[in-house]
Amino acid sequence: MPETKRIHRFGVVESTNDEIRRLGLAGAPDGTIAVAAEQRAGRGRRGRVWHSPCGGLWMSVLVRPGAKDIARLPALSIAAGVAAADALEKVFVELGLPPDSIGLSWPNDVLVDMKKIAGILCEATSVENSIPFVAIGIGINVNNSPEQLPAEIQEHSTSVKSLSGNNWPIEKMLEIITIMIDNRIAEFKSGSLDNIIAEWRKRAVLFGRNVILQSPDGNKRKVVPVDIDNRGRLIVHNDNGSTESVEFEETTLIR
């Protein structure tokens, strides 16, 4: 089991990332975890709502990077996505579900047969005269069902229970994901992203597909994702034949 002293448990909160920010500002150490039964205001990228009913695993991890890690912080989302996929693969093997059905959509979604089962949100907090810390929010649909979600996203969502027909112990999921995220963060801090990037590439589901790339101002264009680079940026082919790397802080993919 994860060390209980590093885990802060909550019933209903606005957001576990908010709780990690509060704990981080109070001096909580690297690796602190916030877990909630439900989030009232869970969020995804660009302020989108992340629906977090009872039955899912809603958690955030506090990461205090070293000075050498600052330039590579965007890749934390990639590392966390790989960790979530690692954890779900282990669960799928135990349940007799096909682990190769799990895929990753850049930059922060974990999919099963193109339906979302988990999502990642990394948020950095700057502290005066200090290196910023990061809250890695991880939401996994475990025992909640798509029917608990708004109608417009039900058909694009799934959960461990929906796929297996059985509940899976939330505490066991927490134990597994904690091991996996610790491993991937240690790998990130070691200075090399090569293995993380390679593991992400193996699970990529959008390479070679036509998708829409949307910028913050709402402009949209068709692109074909073909790879990610060693900083976690997406490499795309444009309609005019050019190739570019895009930052996920600046763009959104629409399948």
Note whether 28 and 139 are same-domain residues. Answer: yes
Q: What is the CATH number of the domain that holds 152?
A: 3.30.930.10
Note whether 77 and 177 are same-domain residues. Answer: yes
What values do phi and psi take at 69, rounded to 5?
-90, -15
E-assigned strands of the chain? 7-13, 33-39, 57-63, 102-105, 109-112, 115-127, 130-140, 211-214, 220-228, 234-238, 243-246, 252-254
Note whether 58 and 175 are same-domain residues. Answer: yes
Note whether 165 and 198 are same-domain residues. Answer: yes
Q: How far apart are CA 195 and CA 49, in angstroms?
A: 31
Note whether 227 and 174 are same-domain residues. Answer: no
Task: Provide the 10 A C-beta neighbour count for residue 171.
Answer: 12
What's the chain's length in residues?
255
Note whether 108 and 189 are same-domain residues. Answer: yes
The percent of residues above 70 in pLDDT, for the chain, comes to 91
Q: For residue 106, is pLDDT > 90?
A: no
Six token digits for residue 193: 């992203």
Note whether 146 and 180 are same-domain residues. Answer: yes
Note whether 231 and 177 are same-domain residues. Answer: no
To 5 degrees, how large is the angle CA 173–CA 15–CA 220? 95
Span 177-228, pLDDT tens digits:
999 999 999 999 998 899 999 999 999 998 998 888 877 777 888 899 999 9
| Residue type at 238 in one-letter notation | N
Note whether 198 and 220 are same-domain residues. Answer: no
Q: Report the pLDDT value the prediction gives residue 192, as an integer from 0 to 100.
A: 81
Q: For residue 1, is pLDDT > 60?
A: no
Least confident of 3-7, 28-32, 167-171: 3-7
Note whether 177 and 215 are same-domain residues. Answer: no
Measured between alpha carbons, how far is residue 227 from residues 16, 25, 46, 114, 221 in Å? 31, 37, 23, 18, 18
Q: For residue 153, is pLDDT > 80?
A: no
Phi-psi region of 148 (alpha: psi -120 to 50; beta: other; left: phi over 0): alpha
- Helix ranges restricted to H, the chain: 16-25, 75-95, 151-154, 160-164, 170-189, 194-203
Q: For residue 96, is pLDDT > 60?
A: yes
Q: Report the pLDDT value the prediction gives residue 30, as an integer from 0 to 100.
A: 95
Average pLDDT over every residue of 113-140: 89
Number of structural domains, the chain?
Answer: 2
Q: What is the CATH number of the domain that holds 215?
A: 2.30.30.100
**Domain limit, last residue, from 179, 203, 227:** 203
For the four alpha carbons of 173, 175, 181 and 187, in that order, the dihedral sign comes to negative
Note whether 179 and 233 are same-domain residues. Answer: no
Q: Report the pLDDT value the prediction gives residue 170, as an integer from 0 to 100.
A: 96
Q: Report the pLDDT value the prediction gives residue 85, as an integer from 0 to 100.
A: 97
Least confident of 20-34, 49-63, 88-102, 160-174: 49-63
Note whether 43 and 141 are same-domain residues. Answer: yes
Q: Which domain holds residue 179?
A: 4-203
Cβ atoms of residues 160 and 119 within 8 Å:
no
